[in-house]
Chain A
């Protein structure tokens, strides 16, 4: 496997503000995914972060709300924009490590919006 780090680990934010979450991987990454996990729920895929191009979003998620960057193979950011209390959740990055198709997960960012 690999070391996957996320920053921040947790944050409390005010309604209407934005937060950028960083994900860094210390190994060769083929694909990078971002998930949301709401309290007591399973994981929901937000988008696939493509290196050097626009992310691919799942139904119900849009770029204006969740802009994603992936400037290189091992680093990606997810921004949660114009936050509301409904955005309170755990956000997880999930890289696929070369040469497998197994998705590993970062430790998560716990976001609370007041």
Chain B
């Protein structure tokens, strides 16, 4: 059974204070690892897809990396508008559905 564990559950940062979110996963064959951002009361917004170990992707202040066991979402010099819940999900190579972690709730204070 595929499993995704995200840590920490919640993270509070000061504006400009860089940090990383962790996503550990167990999957029989990884087709892709996905990161989403979700604001309260809204549907998840797609951020990145990573397909193989060593791959990295960047978007503004966010950078996602992937190893064979985990992925990190690095947030550099965050701003209050980066406050949201960040969700990680894996897609098994055998089928097309996603298994989600419980998310990390990020709060960035000015």
B73 at the A interface (CB under 8 A): no
B46 touches A102 (CB 8 A): yes
Q: Which of B34, B42, B101 lies in contact with A103, CB distance below 8 A?
A: B34
Name which residue of chain A comes closest to B48, CB basis: A102
Question: How would you classify the secondary structure of chain A's contact residues: helix, strand, loop or mixed?
Answer: loop
- Number of residues from B at the complex interface, CB < 8 A: 20
A101 at the B interface (CB under 8 A): yes
Q: Given A42-B87, A105-B45, A110-B41, are A31 and B100 neighbors across the interface (CB < 8 Å)? A: no
A22 to chain B, nearest CB (A): 15
Q: Which 7 A-B pairs have the closest CB atoms?
A: A105-B43, A42-B102, A105-B44, A42-B100, A108-B43, A43-B100, A107-B43
Chain B interface residues (CB < 8 Å from chain A): 31-32, 34, 36, 41-46, 49, 87, 91, 96-98, 100-103
CA distance A105 to B34 in the complex (A): 13
* B32 contacts across to A, CB distance below 8 A: 101
